[in-house]
Structure 1
Amino acid sequence: MVLMESAVSLKTGEQAPGFSLKGTDGAVHSLGDYSKYEGILVIFMCNHCPYVKAKLDTIISLHREFGDKIAIVGINSNDSIKYPDDSLENMKKVAAEKGIEFDYLVDETQEVAKSYGATCTPDPFLFDGEGKLIFHGRIDDAMKPEDKATDKTMAHNINDFLAGREIRKDFDPSIGCSIKWKD
């Protein structure tokens, strides 16, 4: 597990790095595809991490609640050679089994994760409609897979953003498995 506090590269107000990645739907998705939304939540995630598994229902709920205003995009940057559970084929299976309706993309080169400064799974980045970072950090306050959340951090921040209120804390460290980097 990794507490990502030490490795933040994108700073509040910085622009979301662009990407063009293949999704579980077979299409290629780019950052510009989400310009009609009021914001975008990019979550670096994977299939095998127990922290992601514990948050997946919450991420799906965020999409159901805010998906008409906030695009939610999952990006898997793990090395799928050493971690075959994270292959695109297995991503498709997980998306179908879990009912993932948001775009779930594969970052085979790992360049997108590096450009965002992503370090763990899950590692969420919330951007406004202009693509500027407004929050980087946890989905909720459940810091172990078996913990029950008492504070829905991301939902509160999205609600504050959509209501025009300032997000009180622009970084709140997440915890999860490290991204599985290629050698």
Structure 2
Amino acid sequence: MARTESNMLPLGTKAPNFELPDSISGRKLKLSDVYGEKATVVMFICNHCPYVNHLNKEIVKLAKDYANSDVGFVAISSNDVDKYPEDAPDKMKLKAQELGYTFPYLYDQTQEVAKAYDAACTPDFYVFDRNLELMYRGQFDDSRPGNSMPISGRDIRTAIDATIMGKRIYKAQKPSIGCNIKWKE
């Protein structure tokens, strides 16, 4: 696994639109289908990454904690499934069911969506405001596999809470660290 940091898309960037198949429902979903009235959280994840697996249960908890807060959540996997078959849509559906994902888990076969978001790693988190302007990009928290720090979700929760309240996030935003997205050649 290549330890890779987020590219840190510029704050204020408008959320790039997309239309991708949901591995859970089989339907194609657009950004407008996952939009939250107060905030929209876009997460680039995959099945096999140990950094994602380290956070997965807390990602599910995060989405459940904000279920009644007008916050939309969506996960996207953009990995090359020819080289990483465990990240294929049928396996994505199984993982989502196993972990109880309450949010869509979309498959970005062309990798165009990952490129549009300047995503670099899994996990990579983005929080957009009600106008779909980027308020936060970066890490879930300081916990990583093997560093013995408890998973708190402090960074992402602070960002979501500020966005819900219509406040800017002045605290320094740390990049996420994870496996690089497995780009097609």
TM-score for the superposition, normalised by structure 1 = 0.92
- Consecutive unaligned residues of structure 2, counting only runs of 5 or more, are none
User: Does the Cα contact within 8 Å between 1:39 and 1:70 map onto a contact in 2?
Assistant: yes
Output the amino acid matched with 1:50.
Answer: P
| Partners of 1:105 and 1:145 in 2: CA distance | 28
- Tell me the secondary structure at the aligned position of residue 171 of structure 1: coil
Partner of 1:88: 89
State the Cα RMSD in Å. 1.6
Select between 84-93 and 24-33 the one with higher mean Cα deviation: 24-33
Residue number in structure 1 paired with 2:41: 41
Contact map agreement 1:135 1:169 (CA 8 A) in 2: no
CA deviation after TM superposition for structure 1 residue 173, in Å: 0.8
**Residue correspondence of structure 1 range 70-149 to structure 2 within 5 A:** 70-144=71-145, 147=148, 148-149=150-151
Corresponding residue number in structure 1 for 2:156: 154
- Structure 1 residues 14, 90: CA separation in 2 closer, same or farther (over 3 Å shift)? same
Q: Could you report, residue by residue, the CA deviation over 1:18-64 in whole angstroms, capped at 9, with x for unpaired residues?
A: 10000021011101223452111000000000000111111111111
* 1:98-139 CA distance string (max 9 Å, x none): 111101000000000011000000000110011100000001
Contact 1:3–1:173 (CA<8 Å) still a contact in 2? no
Distance 1:115 1:152, change over 3 A: same
How far is the alpha carbon of 1:74 from its aligned partner?
0.3
Residue aligned with 1:91, SS: helix
Out of 144, 168, 171, the residue aligned to residue 173 of structure 2 is 171
> What secondary structure is seen at the aligned counterpart in 2 of 1:71?
strand
Between the aligned partners of 1:145 and 1:51, the Cα distance in structure 2 is: 10
Offset, 1:88: 0.2
Amino acid at match of 1:172: K
1:36, 1:52 → 2: CA distance?
23
C-alpha displacement at 1:142, in angstroms?
Answer: 0.4
Structure 1 contact 13–134 (Cα < 8 Å) conserved: yes
Q: Which amino acid aligns with 1:176?
A: G
Alignment partners' CA distance in 2, 1:124 and 1:152: 13
Q: Count matched residues.
A: 181
Report the AA paired with residue 14 of structure 2: Q
AA partner of residue 124 (structure 1)? F
Identify if the C-alpha distance between structure 1 residues 170 and 38 changes in structure 2 by more than 3 Å, giving closer, same or farther: farther
2:27 equivalent in structure 1:
27
Which residues of structure 1 form unaligned runs of 5+? Answer: none
